[in-house]
Amino acid sequence: MAMRPLVLTMGEPAGIGAEIAAGAWRALRESGPAFVLIDDAARRLAVPVRAVDAPEDAAASFADALPVLHRPLPRTPVAGSPDIANAPAVIAAITEAVALARAGRAAGVVTNPIQKSTLTAAGFKHPGHTEYLGEIAGTGIPPVMMLASSDLRVVPVTVHEALATAIARLTPDLIAQTARITARALRDEFAIAAPRLAIAGLNPHAGEAGTMGREDIDIVAPAVALLRAEGIDARGPLPPDTMFTAHARPTYDAAICLYHDQALIPIKTLDMAGGVNVTLGLSIVRTSPDHGTALDIAGTGRADPSSLIAAIRLAAELARARGFA
């Protein structure tokens, strides 16, 4: 039986989403996995486009044209200049993609980058994709964001919030909860029988035995103790300045980081083109390229689809592992 298609969302219409979707189709048209894009089929792309009525129609035309579920945009996008009038269509594409996946009509969802400031100005109440997906496709546990590449997997405990707020929210239970969800996903979806977790410290040198702050002693170390008592192979708190070196990375399967940049800086430095954003703890499979809307190069033909291609391939693998294919 052929795999169900994946569904791609349009992302920010003034960004590079449509361009990289076209590039991904060009790269995958013969090998798959097949996907359908929710977007305005009237948009001009550098590949043939075919409007389809349902995701089930995608496979039949995938080798010849990029299948698109036609959802007209209120205003014609201008590359590099987001228009708040198109924000409802961007949100609607995410909502529809999730509904298709939850109904079993799609194997999973791959989201193109959104312009958070534009959506916020239009009344969107969520800091980003992860939080919105937790609301509409959640399982009763907070969603967890993983960034994955061939060299590194990282999971931030706190995500889209000011650093001062993120640090104030850290507790042993929050760190342990994030690590548990990560360990479960590594077993069930990444086929790692005994996941090894590296837990980052918060302060320089993981606090240097309390001489640079007690957070690592009072918050991080108790979380590691909780995890180890539950049989999870967790180590830490580890000095963040050395845990991402070439020597250290092979010693663990995922790094649990305490705030957004602590996780994203190393993985984007190592593999900006091939990194993939995966949301753990959802009722569906969801991946995304590990970059933004790239408004500065939108419409120039310079956008690199590598991260989206990696996101599509990983979504297909995770869908098979979860029995959604």
Give the per-residue pLDDT at 160.
85
Give the per-residue pLDDT at 3.
83
Q: What is the mean pLDDT of the chain?
A: 95
Beta strands in the chain (DSSP E): 6-8, 35-39, 49-52, 66-70, 109-110, 144-148, 153-156, 196-200, 233-238, 254-257, 276-280, 286-289
Give the per-residue pLDDT at 128.
85
pLDDT digits (tens, 9 = 90+) for 62-103: 999 999 999 999 999 999 999 999 999 999 999 999 999 999
Give the per-residue pLDDT at 1.
47
The mean pLDDT of 168-176, rounded to a whole number, is 97
Give the per-residue pLDDT at 223.
98
Beta strands in 18-110 (DSSP E): 35-39, 49-52, 66-70, 109-110
Please, which pLDDT band fits residue 216 given cuts at 50, 70 and 90? Answer: very high
Give the per-residue pLDDT at 141.
87
Please, which pLDDT band fits residue 117 given cuts at 50, 70 and 90? Answer: very high
Q: Say what the pTM is.
A: 0.91
Are 146 and 182 within 8 A, CB to CB?
yes
Q: Is the dihedral of CA 318, 321, 324, 325 positive or negative?
A: positive
Beta strands in 53-192 (DSSP E): 66-70, 109-110, 144-148, 153-156
Domains in the chain, start-ordered, CATH in brackets?
A: 1-140+282-325 (3.40.718.10), 150-273 (3.40.718.10)
